[in-house]
């Protein structure tokens, strides 16, 4: 079928989604929504750079209220704005969603949107894409259901913003969504994030799962550099370099390094949209799964903020 797709929020990630949509031949009608005139102009420029793509209709909006009901909605707003955007899209008839992470900044939003999705029979997925990497199955097969220790470390990689990607990967590899997290090794308080009004954390969070698996995510201050994931299991070690896009497997005296391609967001969006248009599901966690993992993470970060500030009434963790 030919489809109408709405993309709400055209910041850096939103534009990548936009580029991915341009590769989907069956997406013929496109609604681009951003309250910022500058962001809408940048989105228009991005579309103009995609040579040869012809659309039946491309419409720019400052507000969701002027949209027609889309077949699929991609919501790439800031986390604070996302719950309101989702509710507004449901009101105009959207029933299939791909949502950016971090989902929301308040635990109450997870309740509200969860009930809304259940009542309206909405299907939604969250863009935690590590499980969709082309060779993610190689790691899962190597672990073969055994307990493992998962560690991710690097400098300036955005612990608050990106930890959910790794928590989701741990859930995928272990088959478990009940993860206990501790934030005792985070530096006190927070630091300003790149996006105004949001925060980041420095230090380490740790987690444990039933059966003996564990999770550590460490981030030091400074400019972003290579982020490495190291997974150990029964004497075997698997290391993924984000920068080099390689997987190194050490098992006894055997050491081998293989390509571990990490698709661009635009490429991933094309695949996710084509799956949805074929009547299937994208290779992403569904809303219920991701919301549970988000809750665990957000609760841990809120505890940290409350302890650091001495204010037990804090109910928002401003990460995006």
> What is the per-residue pLDDT across 224-274, written as a single tens digit (0 to 9) for each?
988 999 999 999 999 999 999 999 999 989 999 999 999 999 999 999 999
**Which pLDDT band holds residue 87 (cuts at 50, 70, 90)?**
very high
> What is the per-residue pLDDT across 178-198, written as a single tens digit (0 to 9) for each?
999 999 999 999 999 999 999
What CATH class has 134-261? alpha beta
Q: Tell whether the model's pLDDT for residue 1 goes beyond 70.
A: no
Region 3-128+267-285: CATH code:
3.40.50.720
Q: What are phi and psi of 218, to 5 degrees?
A: -120, 135
> What residues are paired with 249 via a beta bridge?
238, 256
Q: What is the pTM of this model?
A: 0.96
Round to whole Å and give the CA distance between 243 and 236.
22
Please check whether residue 191 is in contact with residue 221, taking contact to mean a CB–CB distance below 8 angstroms: yes
- 271 — alpha (psi -120 to 50), left (phi > 0) or beta? alpha
Q: Tell whether the model's pLDDT for residue 165 goes beyond 80.
A: yes
Round to whole Å and give the CA distance between 314 and 291.
20
Percent of the chain at pLDDT > 70 equals 99
| Per-residue confidence (pLDDT) for residue 52, from 0 to 100 | 75
Mean pLDDT of the chain: 96
- 32 — alpha (psi -120 to 50), left (phi > 0) or beta? beta
Q: Tell whether the model's pLDDT for residue 275 goes beyond 90.
A: yes
Domain chopping of the chain, boundaries: 3-128+267-285, 134-261
Q: What is the mean pLDDT of residues 28-38?
A: 97
């Amino acid at each position: 079928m030919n489809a109408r797709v709405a993309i709400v929020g055209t910041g850096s990630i939103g534009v990548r989604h936009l580029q991915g949509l341009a590769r989907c031949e069956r997406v013929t009608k496109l609604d681009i929504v951003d309250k910022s005139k500058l962001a809408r102009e940048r989105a228009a420029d991005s579309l103009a750079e995609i040579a040869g793509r012809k659309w039946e209709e491309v419409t720019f909006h400052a507000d969701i209220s002027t949209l027609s009901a889309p077949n699929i909605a991609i919501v790439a707003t800031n986390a604070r704005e996302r719950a309101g955007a989702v509710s507004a899209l449901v009101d105009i008839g959207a029933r299939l969603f791909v949502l950016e992470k971090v989902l929301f900044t308040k635990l109450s939003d997870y309740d509200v949107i969860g009930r809304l999705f259940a009542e309206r029979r909405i299907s939604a997925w969250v863009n935690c894409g590590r499980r969709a990497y082309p060779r993610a199955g190689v790691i899962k097969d190597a672990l073969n259901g055994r307990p493992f220790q998962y560690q991710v470390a690097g400098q300036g990689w955005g612990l608050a913003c990106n930890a959910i990607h790794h928590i989701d990967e741990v859930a995928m590899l272990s088959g478990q969504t009940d993860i206990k997290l501790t934030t005792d090794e985070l530096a006190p308080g927070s630091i300003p994030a790149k996006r105004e009004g949001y925060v980041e954390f420095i230090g380490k969070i740790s987690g444990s799962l039933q059966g003996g698996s564990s999770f550590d995510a460490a981030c030091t201050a400074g400019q972003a550099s290579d982020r490495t994931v190291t997974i150990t299991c029964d004497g075997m070690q698997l290391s993924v370099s984000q920068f080099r896009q390689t997987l190194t497997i050490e098992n006894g005296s055997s050491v081998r390094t293989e390509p571990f391609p990490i698709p661009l967001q635009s490429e991933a969006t094309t695949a996710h949209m084509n799956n949805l248009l074929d009547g299937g599901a994208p290779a992403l966690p569904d809303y219920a799964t991701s919301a549970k993992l988000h809750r665990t993470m957000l609760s841990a970060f809120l505890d940290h903020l409350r302890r650091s500030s001495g204010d037990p009434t804090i109910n928002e963790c401003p990460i995006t």
